[in-house]
Amino acid sequence: MEIRRAGIEDAKNIVSNLWMPLGREMESITDYNTLSNNAEQKALEHRRDTLENEEGICLIAENNEELIGLISVSIQERAPIFEENKYVKVHDLYVKEKFRSQGVAKKLFERAEKWASNQNVEAIELNVDTPNKAAINFYEKQGFGEIRKKMRKKL
């Protein structure tokens, strides 16, 4: 397995083989994640934008040239009134089902954390869907703890 930084040339492959399966899996977890019309085209445009963002990085894991996982993170800033105002946010972490429990996510996470530690930030944060117990368990093993609850009311 090889982990490398994704480039703009990887966008279509990432969307087709990783991001859309991630979206469908998230959709199956909660109605909050219902995919939009033209989701794949919108995802491709979004992924291209994120790959061009100099304040972030997308790492992909490959096994014999097959994309098997990704993590994307970027530098974020909170209001300047807070002492800790610069952090890295994990936007996506996904590993294809047949490659799970083989250390792929852990290795992707370690590489993203290494990148984050070189960005002069104080923390790394993420959001996770409450019903996604497997992801919560993984993140807790990586040292994450709950600091906030995100609440939602549908109108």
Which residues touch 64 (CB under 8 Å, ≥6 apart)? none
Q: Tens of pLDDT along the chain (155 residues)?
A: 999 999 999 999 999 999 889 888 888 888 878 888 888 888 888 889 889 888 999 999 999 999 999 999 999 988 888 888 889 999 999 999 999 999 999 999 999 999 999 998 989 999 998 889 999 999 999 999 998 888 888 89
Which residue, 34, 105, 115, is CA-closest to 73? 115
Which residues touch 17 (CB under 8 Å, ≥6 apart)? 66, 67, 96
Whole-model pTM above 0.95? no
Question: What structural domains does the chain harbor?
Answer: 2-141 (3.40.630.30)
- Classified as helix, coil or strand, 4 is strand
Q: Going edge to edge, which strands form the sheet with 86-95? A: 2-5, 56-63, 66-77, 86-95, 124-126
- Classified as helix, coil or strand, 47 is helix
CA distance 16 to 85: 35
